[in-house]
Chain A
Amino acid sequence: MQDEPTPGELIKAVADFLRNEIAPVIKGHNAFKLRVGINALDLVTRQLALEPASDAAETARLRQLLGADGSLVELNLALSERIAKGEVDLQTSELSNHLWQTTMDKLAVDQPNYASYKRELGAK
């Protein structure tokens, strides 16, 4: 067992330092690159916090939908094949629900400020 602080706590501390102390004194193209870097660290922080629960839920939905077991990548490969062959489509309400939930969980990590995501979050 590794000691504390957790990776999430460490990365958040670094991101906050860069955001609050360094970004205000950097100019030009490096200021843009620094913003991208801070955004990347924030994304990693979100992923570390959210991924375990969203992966577990996605795996459970895929097992149910496919009636099969495997790793998350294997299950997604299997679902992709079934969609490509037309064996499962949007007539199956579980498919739509699954894809929506999975995509919302991706956006929560990748880009929670994306306008489409915020709209769908509000409409839920």
Chain B
Amino acid sequence: MNEMIEAELGRCVASWYPGATGVAGAEKLSGGASQETWSFDILHPDGNVGAILRRAPPGYGASPSRAAGLDAEATLMQLAHDAGLPSPKVMHVLRAQDQLGTGFVMRRIEGETIARKILRDAEFAGARPLLARRLGEVAAGIHGLDAAKLPELRATSATKEIADLEREYHGFNWPRPVFELALRWLRARDPGPPDRMTLVHGDFRHGNLIIGPDGLRAVLDWELAHLGDPMEDLGWICVNSWRFGEIDKPVGGFGSREELFAGYEAAGRRVDPDRVMFWEVMGTLRWGVMCCGMMQRFRAGPDHSMERAMIGRRSSETEIDLLRLLAPRA
């Protein structure tokens, strides 16, 4: 498999990267049935260049309904890069003659994405205190990207998100009084449309952030990008599930809401803390519903894996977090 994709990538790269003599070191980083991420090196006499291929293999064109699509992802990454945000440069968007499916090739950015390392390893000790504020600045930059240049994206609203979560949860046919309480809370506090709809990254959290000892190096994975309430991104990064045990540091386990908000406002945009809290509750419920969905897929097969099954048993973590948010004990 690796030799095969190296040969295919070598032909592809030669057609747009002058002087490239081939590719090596192809390694699959992640992949489901419909989408794969590969790391590889472009060989060049002036020095090799690290690259990433993100693609839907030939025959897998359609993406799930919530996904922005790989072409939109490439456009968004390039827009973010051109705006000076930490985002890898897009080197090539796949064409039919590349015979690699649909997707794109981008520069590989070295760094760490594993939350437990970022939160505990000594090499990130200097970066941690700066991250919350920096994430605020970068979120503001994403929300400020020129609307006229954005690709076509689905638009959503708090009202629609509540209805989607409710439908999905009811589809599981398994009663969860805490989820019902959260749905009721969300409906009662639906803030309505924001003053201005913006681009929302949609999955702004650990795993999609490349961190180095010097701080944030890249924001990845625009698969869930959409148009909506910008406060959604700030709420999602505060969800307790992404604090990895550092529960007193709401922003990714490394910082405070105040730092996040200060960075956001320093970049010239306004924070609405009530909306952020609303989206944090929504995000907590969303992760809980996603855990239940993993359990459903485990049962339905064909991926009858222990990992999926055990993620199903993590939905109760979101129940205790919802209770801590909605019904804190004195």
Contact = CB atoms under 8 A, between A and B. Distances in A.
A102 B324 CA distance: 14
B313 A111 contact: yes
Interface stretch (B16-24, B108-116, B176-184): B176-184
B317 A99 contact: no
A115 B247 contact: yes
Nearest to B174: A73
A103 B307 contact: no
A107 interface: yes
A43 B326 CA distance: 27
Contacts, number: 85
B307 A36 contact: yes
A79 to B, nearest CB: 5
A120 B184 contact: no
Interface string B181-217: 1011000000000000000000000000000000000
The 9 lowest CB-CB distance pairs between A and B, nearest first, are: A76-B175, A106-B316, A83-B180, A80-B175, A115-B245, A77-B175, A80-B180, A110-B316, A115-B247
B171 to A, nearest CB: 14
Given A76-B175, A116-B240, A107 B316 contact: yes
Contacts of A39: 310
Residue of B177, B246, B324, B326 with highest tally of chain A CB at under 10 A: B177
A80 B247 contact: no
Given A73-B175, A107-B316, A110-B313, A83 B323 contact: no
A120 B306 contact: no
B319 interface: yes
A90 B309 contact: no
11 contacts: A36-B307, A79-B177, A80-B175, A86-B184, A100-B323, A103-B323, A110-B313, A115-B243, A116-B320, A116-B324, A117-B317
Interface in A10-61: 33, 36-37, 39-40, 43
B327 interface: yes
Interface residues of B, number: 29
Contacts of B243: 115
Contacts of A107: 316-317, 320
Contacts of B177: 76, 79-80, 83, 99, 102
A96 B327 contact: yes
A69 interface: no
Contacts of B323: 99-100, 103
Contacts of B324: 116, 120
Residue of B309, B320, B323 with highest tally of chain A CB at under 10 A: B320
B317 A110 contact: yes
B8 interface: no
Residue of B181, B183, B329 with highest tally of chain A CB at under 10 A: B181
